[in-house]
Amino acid sequence: MSQVCYLRNGTVYIPFVVRAREGLYMQIKPVIVVAASDTENFRLAVVETLKRKYPAVPLPAPQHQIFLDVPKAAGLKSWRTFNKGALNWLIRQYNDIWTIAIQRTDKPHGDDESQLINFPPGTPVEQVADRVVEVIQTKADELAAK
C-alpha cells in the first residue's frame, strides 16, 4: 500500500489512489485539500486516507492516462506547474511496517534516503498519521519562514 501527500504553498493535497493492476496505482479525484496548519482536519484526512482500501479499476486507454486531478485541485492546468512548487511524501505500508519517505526534488527522483522514517511492525495508523502531520507541518513552517 502506498499513499501520497503533496505540500504546495502551505496547502496539503491528498489524492484518492486506485489500483489499475498489480504495481500500477493512479491518483484520481476526489483530492482532499486541507491547510497544513489545520492540524485537526489534516490529521483526520490522513487517518481516513491510510485506512482506505484501494479499489481495483480497469486500466484506462492510453489517451486517458494523464490524470490532472491533483493540479486541478490547486487551480493549475499541469503537473509541471504543480510540481515546481510542491514537495511530496509517500506513506507506505508493507508487511505491517509503515514508512514515510519525502521524495527527492532533484534527479534521480525517488526517496530521500536521509529522511526516511520507519515505524516498528504493528504501529497504529493514528500514530503514523500524527508523524505525517508533524513532518509536513514542520516543512511548511520552514518554507513559510523563507
What CATH number is given to the structural domain containing 131? 3.40.1590.10
Task: State pLDDT tens for residues 2-53.
Answer: 899 999 999 999 998 887 776 677 888 889 999 999 999 999 999 999 998 8
Radius of gyration of the chain (CA): 15
End-to-end Cα separation, the chain, in angstroms:
34
Q: Which domain holds residue 37?
A: 2-145
Percent over 70 (pLDDT), the chain: 93
Number of folded domains that form the chain: 1
Using DSSP's 3-state secondary structure scheme, residue 50 falls into helix
Give the Cα separation of 22 and 2 in Å (integer): 12
Give the pTM. Answer: 0.90
